[in-house]
């Protein structure tokens, strides 16, 4: 297996393992009385991310790998782990709200309201660019921006956050 395909195998296995974790966390949250919001756009989001991965799988071939961009992608994976670890059992791929639970205001959430979306946005551009696939990076960056416009709006409404509000301070 060449390096581009090895990278794609890593990313694909990572995403699949995250779906397993998300499904488990979603089931636990729902059993605890949580509610899902924005379910109508979820299949579109999954389809977009699947199409992104497939476009990469069919395009990477034996392309050269940009080591600086691969390093950026690796750093993004560290940020992804930080987000997931901070949210712990509250992390899902869906918009799930547990009534009475306070907003997370630690870790990367001290700096950004939606750090996972920032990481994913960067990944969607950086990974294709790592292989010189500018068209895939551009197309899916635009599609992701449209998806996030819908998703962040739904998430903010679900969490009761107004457009200009800041997350609450961390609880002691």
Question: Which residue stretches of the chain have pLDDT < 70?
Answer: 161-172
Tell which residue, 62, 61, 58, 114, has the closest CA to residue 86.
114
In a domain, 170, yes or no: no
Domain with 52 in it? 3-159
In a domain, 169, yes or no: no
Which residues, at least 6 apart from 163, have a Cβ–Cβ distance to it below 8 Å?
Answer: 156
Which residues, at least 6 apart from 20, have a Cβ–Cβ distance to it below 8 Å?
Answer: none
Cα–Cα distance, 87 to 62 (Å, whole number)? 37
Task: Please give the pLDDT value at position 166.
Answer: 41
- How many domains does the chain fold into? 1
Task: Please give the pLDDT value at position 167.
Answer: 43
In a domain, 146, yes or no: yes
In a domain, 166, yes or no: no
In a domain, 171, yes or no: no
pLDDT cut 70: percent of the chain above it: 93
Task: Please give the pLDDT value at position 1.
Answer: 80
The predicted model scores a pTM of: 0.89
- Domain of 53: which CATH number? 1.20.120.1630
Task: Please give the pLDDT value at position 130.
Answer: 99
In a domain, 148, yes or no: yes
Which residues, at least 6 apart from 106, have a Cβ–Cβ distance to it below 8 Å?
Answer: 86, 170
Task: Provide the β-strand partners of residue 36.
Answer: 96
Task: Please give the pLDDT value at position 160.
Answer: 86
The token pair that represents 5 in the structure block: 């395909």
């Amino acid at each position: 297996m060449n390096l581009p395909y090895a990278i794609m195998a890593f990313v694909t296995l990572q995403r699949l393992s995250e779906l397993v974790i998300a499904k488990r966390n979603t089931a636990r949250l729902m059993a605890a009385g949580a509610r899902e919001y924005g379910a109508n756009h979820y299949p579109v989001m999954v389809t977009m991310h699947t199409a992104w991965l497939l476009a990469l799988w069919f395009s990477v071939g034996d392309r050269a790998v940009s080591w600086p961009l691969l390093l950026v992608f690796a750093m993004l994976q560290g940020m992804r782990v930080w987000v997931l670890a901070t949210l712990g059992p509250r992390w899902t791929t869906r918009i799930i709200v547990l009534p009475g639970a306070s907003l997370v205001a630690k870790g990367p959430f001290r700096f950004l309201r939606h750090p996972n979306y920032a990481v994913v946005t960067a990944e969607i551009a950086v990974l294709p660019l790592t292989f010189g696939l500018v068209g895939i990076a551009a197309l899916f960056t635009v599609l992701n921006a449209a998806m996030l416009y819908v998703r962040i709006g739904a998430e903010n409404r679900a969490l009761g956050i107004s457009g200009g509000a800041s997350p609450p301070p961390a609880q002691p």
